[in-house]
Structure 1
Amino acid sequence: MSGRPDILFPLFAELEGLDGIGPKTARLFQQMEVVKPRDLIFTLPHSGTDRRRRASIREVTPGSTATVEVRVGAHMAPRGRGPYRVQVQDAETAFQLVFFHARGDYLQRQLPPGESRVVSGKVELFDGVAQMAHPDHILRPEDAAEIPDFEPVYPLTAGLTQRGMTRAVASALTRLPDLEEWIDPSLVAREGWPGWAEAVRAAHAPAGGADLSPTAPARQRLAYDELFAHQLTLALARQSARRGAGKPTEGDGRLRRKVLAALPYTPTGAQERAMREIAADMAAGRRMNRLLQGDVGAGKTLVAFMALLVAVEAGGQGVMMAPTEILARQHLESLQPLAEEAGVVLELLTGRDKGAERRAKLDALARGDIQVLVGTHAVFQRDVEFHDLRLAIIDEQHRFGVAQRMELSAKGRGAHVLVMTATPIPRSLSLAQYGDMDVSVLDEKPPGRTPVKTALVSAGRMEEVVDHLRHAIAEGRQAYWVCPLVGESETIEATAAEERFKRLRAALGEGLVGLVHGQLPPAEKDAAMARFVAGETKVLVATTVIEVGVNVPNASIMVIEGAERFGLAQLHQLRGRVGRGAAASTCLLMYDPPLTEGGRRRLEILRETEDGFRIAEEDLAMRGAGDLIGTAQSGLPRFRIADLERQSALMAVAQADARLLLQEDPTLDSPRGRAARVLLWLMEQDKAIRLISVG
């Protein structure tokens, strides 16, 4: 399995060997991320032009394409800077062919007066006169069969033409190798999919609009190949993570029973189920690699702490990592009371720990005196040694891709890994992003959380909102006021937040209003947060820094200014900051009219539902996958053909298929396994190939 199989060489050669591609064109293709014939065959047409032969241009509506046979009439050379015109007559009507910057002698040869030609191009009405500017095709009637009835239209970059693209693709298609089938034969039969090479040819030769849709068999098959290669990579990563022997870690339940007895409520069914799944994974001899996915306020903290207690009961240690210092401190605060009930030693380690104090913590950790460590990525540093680490929990606001997860398990020491995310992700995306993991979902709210009443308020009613706050503060309640997103600029956002802070302070009174934004020094941010948590300030003006993790049960009002500028998931996360106590909570979505169609739809969905999973599905439908989790740092693969929104069902099939294949053939040595290796090379999944070779 050392190198790329010979059969794929023609697809991985230089582009310049293809018809009509020289060094200059090759550079243009590079801008489209097309650097070899393989990339070209996976660049599918996005639409098509109907070029069926018509008797007359009268058969098409202006603005569409017509292909007609005409008799060529008089040539009219331009006066001054105007265009060059040629009169022509089809079976029913006369019209003009129009050329800008044309050479008359060339057009005389192309369109000799008195002869017949077949022309194809877009027909427009100009001052009541029909014209066709720069026809795409001008051919003698005997050569007109060259024009396809339906011509594919490809994505282009400046400098490339449709004709050049079509020619290059045709040339690349002559190199298609005949590859063995890697998809499960019963699936191919059930779906009626063509073989790989046949599917590629069909996708480049659509016979009509239906062939361009994601549901066309050839397109579905090629999308499936992409998803299957991706899921196979994730399944190999999962297999190699599991090969890493985990330490069987089984607790006797004594600490967990203490905590459960002290809780003022009973865990939900979903929490119970997740705790059982995690405990079973940790007890097994292979390393756990599980995702704990829960909506805002679904009670992930309790489940995570119970998992840490399994490690401690078994005589080991656990670590919980948060992406920021504020969140690490928050975890510490929410775990502290539980740790006290269980009698477990809990400590915090962040980048702020320096000198002797840090040294002392590291020594205690190495001796095993600290049983549970909470920290930022500072816990990853070289000199941090555990006595016996059994479980690492990563609280991950999408900052960890598959690669980092592999790195963590390489640091391994056989530690089990649990990743927590508070962002409900639609199933197709969570499979794309976390397909290497087993998933536990918390889809019930614990008792004691009150539903949040959500209302839409136009920005013109600002005074009423401030009045409402004044009354609420008098009743001893607290509120968040989130300032609008301003493009990409944190500085402008900070300024806007400072303005709002000054105006609210003037309206509500000195000392009652606090401020946090991204530009403040961390110490000031922490201090402002602490004052709000302690209830000294009643209103916290903030940019979106509070979106994740802040827990102030007494805060029961959330005002979001410029709500139409936020994404659905973000609004849902922000709203989740209230409704954590017993008081009835409200979320006011303040918008600047007029709303766009999309903006209105987003705000209405929030008003209708508090179900994060439903909101995420809607968000995916409205925004698309890359946008939903910010493709740049999402760890989401970029697919050339597969469309995660429209083909989400295929992703689940691909995951099941990939896991089954590896179960039956872990080293990919069966005939289908070897075909799948070729697919991995074809899809450039080199990481996966390394995983097989180390296996």
Structure 2
Amino acid sequence: MRPDILNPLFAEVSALKGVGSAQVRQLARLKIARVIDLAFHLPTMMIERQSVERLDETLVGQPVIVPLTPARHDRGGPRSPLRVAAVDRGGQWVDLVYFGQTASWAQTRLPIGVEKRITGKLDRYGQKLQIAHPEVAAMDAGPPGQTREPVYPLTEGVTNRRMGQLVAEALGRVPALPEWIEPSVLARQGWAGFAESLAAAHRMERGRDRLAYDELLANQLALMLVRQRARSRKGRALPGTGQLADALRSRLPWPLTGAQTRVIGEILGDMAQAEPMLRLVQGDVGSGKTLVALFACLAAIESGAQAALLAPTEILARQHHATLIKLGADLGIRIALLTGRDKGKVREQLLADLAAGRINLLVGTHAIFQEAVDYHDLGLVVVDEQHRFGVAQRLTLAAKGRTPPHVLAMTATPIPRSLALTRFGEMDQSMIDERPPGRQPIETRVMGPERLEELIAGLARHVEGGGQAYWVCPLVEGSEDADEAAATTRAAFLKARLGEARVGLVHGQMKGPEKDAVMADFAAGRLALLVATTVIEVGVDVPNATLMIIEAAERFGLAQLHQLRGRVGRGSGLSRCLLLRGDELSETARSRLKLMRETNDGFRIAEEDLKLRGAGEILGTRQSGEEAFRFADPVRVQHYVGMARADARLLLDRDGGLDGARGQAARLLLYLFDRDAGVAMLRGG
């Protein structure tokens, strides 16, 4: 139950003065539904106004507050703006300009001869000074008004002044709360209390650092509580016998890398304990994560349990299934695939076999944790591209075992350490930082648009020689200005140049069967060129495809570029990635493309990506599948997450946990940052 002291903050915005149903809908577009959402809606900049008695040329371009006396109303034609000629106390004339207002409005708000306090930005129009749409107040209406005003993110129908009023009312509901930060940390940082810091952040004064720390502390505490809960739940040991693993190892055409051997040892060590495993494996593209996951699955199968591998897309699920079937051939185990497209008797028979224990390893998309899917004895859950799944989905699958199953999460997107702590701090972490033998670095070049014809000629030679290639575009279809960096436009162009039968097209708007058919044709070598959007970012493994062309490469993030480049270099031959850039590049885009040329190291790329993005989204909602932090931008994450982690550990280990005095305050913190529900749900990974 949420503590009563927080109820005013968690009321709906309709509880605020003057907020009707229309404004509720407007605010919803900004993801503002509760009073606390308003309190956490920080400004992006501050307007500094000068309060003056007289206007002059030095003030042009500046926001001002000045007493003016209207002298004349000039309406002009029906489409002309309303102009009110006014004079300051020194005799300087200025036009007050309003679009969409009437002469009767001016007579009421700006009567001739009555001095008013005018607030707005002074500009020059031709030879005249003017202020467009200024605010008007009576001279006796209190102090001159705000000389500093925060500017908020807005939506249609909500003015900045109205947002300021709503925020002020929300801040007035913030109660005095007990302190949850460890006293020595608070003293060392010199931070004010939570409510004072929140108010200061709205004035764009020093306050946001404290809020970012609070958010990270709530996050770390929630993750630690998840881990603590996981340790308290009785699972079961799945030590395996090594029989299937030894058989697999003897059949591999190449030896395991040292990194793979190390990570497999860490996983098997976890699974040999009764405490359910909760481990994240990071491995760069092409590092052999699927093989590592198979060894974990074999340990579960050797112990009499079943395993499930959850993939975020059908393409990736099918790819994993094909890879595992190939690796697990002749081991005497049954590996099945279940997707949302499986229907009728085939699906019914598969579900019956799964419930009876005749299927040892099930691979699939979200379909594998639907209510109708029952396991005979689920002991291990492997989640690939784990950041793409919601917490509730992972929990649902983890709840299908007789006892809490072991959970192994994998990601091919290397994550900087500071972000890994904020995201996966409750998980033990392993890193596969070696490439399998025979894999060569991918040669990467950047080309300007003037070399397009040269590029297409080289592509034609590559195809004529029996090679295959990808051509990736940032868009599905062109816009009104006929953007050529669209997959449909580029595919039509390349079909005309290379031949209709040689070129395939896939993008996210295609239906699953249609998309799979094109992918199957490319994998089988029936197509030489696959034109695609980022739908191929994961889950495509065609060793014969050794050329990757990324058009308008400056429009992609570093992590995306690295993932796309990882679609080639799957075999032992030399692979190339050509980054086709546009005419105009920002400094950030130049830095991205330069780094791609310099390194194939995904972990270095991830760290540089964090630096280049600065205060943007930490992982990006598309990539992370979760909402970004409100206050903790990447710079603050790097600075404070270690401190917050240590603080959370002290609270749990030394200060009595959530039952101690500081813990009672920390309960409020968890509610404030919506980590209370997460504590119960995050156990799924």
Q: Which of 78, 96, 99 pairs up with 2:94?
A: 96
Whether 1:670 aligns to 2:660 is yes
2:47 aligns with 49
Q: What's the offset of the Cα at 1:400?
A: 1.0
Deviation by residue 1:167-218 (Cα, 9 ceiling, x = unmatched):
4444444443211111222222222211112212323345xxxx2xxxx3x1
Deviation by residue 1:339-380 (Cα, 9 ceiling, x = unmatched):
247x34142232466667666655655554543333444433
Report the Cα distance in structure 2 between the residues aligned to 1:529 and 1:166, rounded to whole angstroms. 53
Report the Cα distance in structure 2 between the residues aligned to 1:205 and 1:86, rounded to whole angstroms. 32
Report the Cα distance in structure 2 between the residues aligned to 1:522 and 1:326, rounded to whole angstroms. 9
Whether 1:223 aligns to 2:212 is yes
Q: What letter is aligned with 2:48? A: D
Q: What letter is aligned with 2:196? A: E
1:186 aligns with 184
Report the Cα distance in structure 2 between the residues aligned to 1:400 and 1:364, rounded to whole angstroms. 26
Q: Superposed, which structure 2 residues align to 1:566-585 within 5 Å? A: 566-585=556-575
2:410 aligns with 420
Cα distance 1:367–1:619, how it changes in 2: closer, same or farther (>3 A)?
same
Report the Cα distance in structure 2 between the residues aligned to 1:536 and 1:558, rounded to whole angstroms. 18
Cα distance 1:357–1:128, how it changes in 2: closer, same or farther (>3 A)?
closer
Report the Cα distance in structure 2 between the residues aligned to 1:162 and 1:461, rounded to whole angstroms. 48
Q: What's the offset of the Cα at 1:325?
A: 4.2
Cα distance 1:97–1:22, how it changes in 2: closer, same or farther (>3 A)?
farther
Q: What's the offset of the Cα at 1:297?
A: 0.8
Q: Secondary structure at the match of 2:659?
A: coil
Q: Secondary structure at the match of 1:323?
A: coil
Q: CA RMSD in A?
A: 4.0
Whether 1:604 aligns to 2:594 is yes
2:73 aligns with 77
Report the Cα distance in structure 1 between the residues aligned to 2:595 and 2:272, rounded to whole angstroms. 42
Report the Cα distance in structure 1 between the residues aligned to 2:412 and 2:426, rounded to whole angstroms. 19
Deviation by residue 1:537-558 (Cα, 9 ceiling, x = unmatched):
5444445443322222232222
Q: Secondary structure at the match of 2:399?
A: helix
Point out the more displaced range, 267-276 or 156-165.
156-165
Cα distance 1:530–1:637, how it changes in 2: closer, same or farther (>3 A)?
closer
Whether 1:502 aligns to 2:495 is yes
Q: Secondary structure at the match of 2:320?
A: helix
CA contact (8 A) 1:16 1:26 kept: yes
Report the Cα distance in structure 1 between the residues aligned to 2:50 and 2:347, rounded to whole angstroms. 77
Report the Cα distance in structure 2 between the residues aligned to 1:166 and 1:359, rounded to whole angstroms. 58
Deviation by residue 1:10-66 (Cα, 9 ceiling, x = unmatched):
334565775676777666555544455433332333322223545754585521123
Point out the more displaced range, 629-638 or 553-562.
629-638
Cα distance 1:104–1:302, how it changes in 2: closer, same or farther (>3 A)?
same
2:303 aligns with 314
CA contact (8 A) 1:236 1:691 kept: no
Q: Secondary structure at the match of 2:410?
A: strand
2:337 aligns with 349
Deviation by residue 1:235-271 (Cα, 9 ceiling, x = unmatched):
4344444443221121344443444455454444433
Whether 1:390 aligns to 2:383 is no
Report the Cα distance in structure 2 between the residues aligned to 1:262 and 1:660, rounded to whole angstroms. 49
CA contact (8 A) 2:619 2:628 kept: no
Q: Superposed, which structure 2 residues align to 1:244-643 within 5 Å? A: 244-340=233-329, 343-351=331-339, 365-366=354-355, 368-382=357-371, 384-396=373-385, 398-413=387-402, 414-473=404-463, 475-483=465-473, 485-486=475-476, 495-496=488-489, 499-500=492-493, 502-506=495-499, 516=506, 526=516, 528-535=518-525, 537-594=527-584, 600-620=590-610, 631=621, 634-643=624-633
Q: What's the offset of the Cα at 1:283?
A: 1.9
Q: What's the offset of the Cα at 1:435?
A: 4.3
Q: What's the offset of the Cα at 1:224?
A: 2.4
Q: Secondary structure at the match of 1:636?
A: coil
2:110 aligns with 107
Deviation by residue 1:121-154 (Cα, 9 ceiling, x = unmatched):
32212324434455546565x9775534533333
Q: Superposed, which structure 2 residues align to 1:198-213 within 5 Å? A: 198-206=196-204, 211=205
CA contact (8 A) 2:48 2:149 kept: yes
TM-score normalised by structure 1 residue count: 0.82
Deviation by residue 1:567-600 (Cα, 9 ceiling, x = unmatched):
4333322211111222211112234545566655
Q: Secondary structure at the match of 1:292?
A: strand
CA contact (8 A) 2:385 2:410 kept: yes
CA contact (8 A) 1:494 1:519 kept: no
Q: What letter is aligned with 1:75? A: A
CA contact (8 A) 1:454 1:586 kept: yes
Q: What letter is aligned with 2:333? A: V
Cα distance 1:663–1:637, how it changes in 2: closer, same or farther (>3 A)?
farther
Cα distance 1:137–1:59, how it changes in 2: closer, same or farther (>3 A)?
farther
Report the Cα distance in structure 2 between the residues aligned to 1:522 and 1:31, rounded to whole angstroms. 31
CA contact (8 A) 2:279 2:409 kept: yes
Cα distance 1:433–1:488, how it changes in 2: closer, same or farther (>3 A)?
farther
CA contact (8 A) 1:477 1:555 kept: yes
Q: Superposed, which structure 2 residues align to 1:108-187 within 5 Å? A: 108=111, 111-112=114-115, 120-133=119-132, 135-136=134-135, 140=139, 145=143, 147-187=145-185
Point out the more displaced range, 524-533 or 548-557.
524-533
Q: What letter is aligned with 2:73? A: A
Q: What's the offset of the Cα at 1:332?
A: 3.2
Report the Cα distance in structure 1 between the residues aligned to 2:10 and 2:238, rounded to whole angstroms. 48
Deviation by residue 1:611-665 (Cα, 9 ceiling, x = unmatched):
2234344545566888776626843235444434654433454445445534557
Report the Cα distance in structure 2 between the residues aligned to 1:527 and 1:107, rounded to whole angstroms. 70
Q: What letter is aligned with 2:174? A: L
Q: What's the offset of the Cα at 1:536?
A: 5.2
Cα distance 1:168–1:304, how it changes in 2: closer, same or farther (>3 A)?
closer
Q: Secondary structure at the match of 2:540?
A: coil
CA contact (8 A) 2:96 2:133 kept: yes
CA contact (8 A) 2:334 2:358 kept: no
CA contact (8 A) 2:180 2:662 kept: yes
TM-score normalised by structure 2 residue count: 0.83
Q: Secondary structure at the match of 1:103?
A: helix
2:482 aligns with none
Q: What letter is aligned with 2:391? A: V
Q: What letter is aligned with 2:96? A: V
Unaligned residue ranges in structure 1 (runs of 5+): none
Report the Cα distance in structure 1 between the residues aligned to 2:679 and 2:290, rounded to whole angstroms. 37
Q: What letter is aligned with 1:412? A: G
> How many residue pairs are counted as aligned between the two chains?
666
Cα distance 1:77–1:617, how it changes in 2: closer, same or farther (>3 A)?
same
Cα distance 1:403–1:75, how it changes in 2: closer, same or farther (>3 A)?
same
Q: Percent identity?
A: 49
Q: Secondary structure at the match of 1:4?
A: coil
Report the Cα distance in structure 2 between the residues aligned to 1:545 and 1:131, rounded to whole angstroms. 52
Report the Cα distance in structure 2 between the residues aligned to 1:653 and 1:258, rounded to whole angstroms. 46
Deviation by residue 1:429-480 (Cα, 9 ceiling, x = unmatched):
5445444433323233233211111123345544433432444355543333
